[in-house]
A and B are shown apart, each in its own frame.
Chain A
Amino acid sequence: MSLKKILVLDGVTAVCRFGDDGGVIEAEGLLSQEWMDHLAKYAQWYRRVVSSNTDLLSLFSQMPGWVPSRGWIVKGAATTVCGVGNVVCLVDNAEGSLNQLMQALGKAAHE
């Protein structure tokens, strides 16, 4: 799925695919290049930290199903940022559907 197909979903304001170094591979949306760079970098960090935390959960709970971690969501008052694999996007809470978006991000991340 191309990033453009995610950008047209309701409420999505920016979407970005990033590399293992946290650099932008491709991006669509309303953010400036500088902010897209920040978004990619933090998304990569979040991905690492969430993966560490799921490792801990897996280890301490002795339960299957935690790893490898797939993504994360940070929901703010008006905006939500969510990442699956190496794709991250910003969405307006009032307009977006998180379920639809996570599904689309999952498809985009596995390409």
Chain B
Amino acid sequence: MHIVKQLMAIPGVIAAGEYAYRGDRFSYQGELSDEFARMASILCRANTLTVNLQSEIIDASAENCGCRPVQGWIMRGAQVTLCAVGNYFAFIETRDELLNDVMTIMRAKVGDVHEDLLVSLYARLGGDTNEPLY
């Protein structure tokens, strides 16, 4: 089963999808409008780039310390949590026994993310990169 469908089948998952380089290519399912999904995509890209930069810096000071390549990140809010693994994201409710299930499925289904994640994100670059994002 496709990972997004599988995530959406879990009670408490609000929306899930894939994001790309600039937020102009994305796909999703669930309770998000197109505009909100585009915003989520931009936000996911920002966090993914940031954590990748940090992992390079940490790795430069302690080689093979286990943080590279970055697999993803979690942003936990009071009622909503946003998780990303590779170029997949999921909005889920913040409640007991959901985050671990979602992360287990995302890690297992997406598989280990390799160093080429950003290359592949960049390869999907399309449209006008100078377009205003508002």
**Total A-B contacts with CB atoms under 8 angstroms apart:** 51
Chain B, residue nearest A62 (CB) = B134
B39 interfacial contact with A, CB 8 Å: yes
Contact residue among B42, B45, B122, B130 (Cβ-Cβ distance under 8 Å from A68): B130
CB pair A49–B49 under 8 Å, yes or no, is yes
Cβ–Cβ < 8 Å partners of B45 in chain A: 52, 55
B78 within 8 A of A: no
Q: Is B100 engaged at the interface, CB distance under 8 Å to the other chain?
A: no
Please tell me the size bucket of the interface on B: 20 to 34
Which residues of B line the A interface, CB within 8 A?
Answer: 22-23, 39, 42-43, 45-46, 49-50, 52-53, 56-57, 60, 118, 122, 129-130, 132-134
With A45-B56, A55-B23, A59-B39 known, 8 other A-B pairs at CB within 8 A are A42-B56, A42-B57, A48-B49, A49-B53, A52-B46, A52-B49, A55-B42, A67-B132
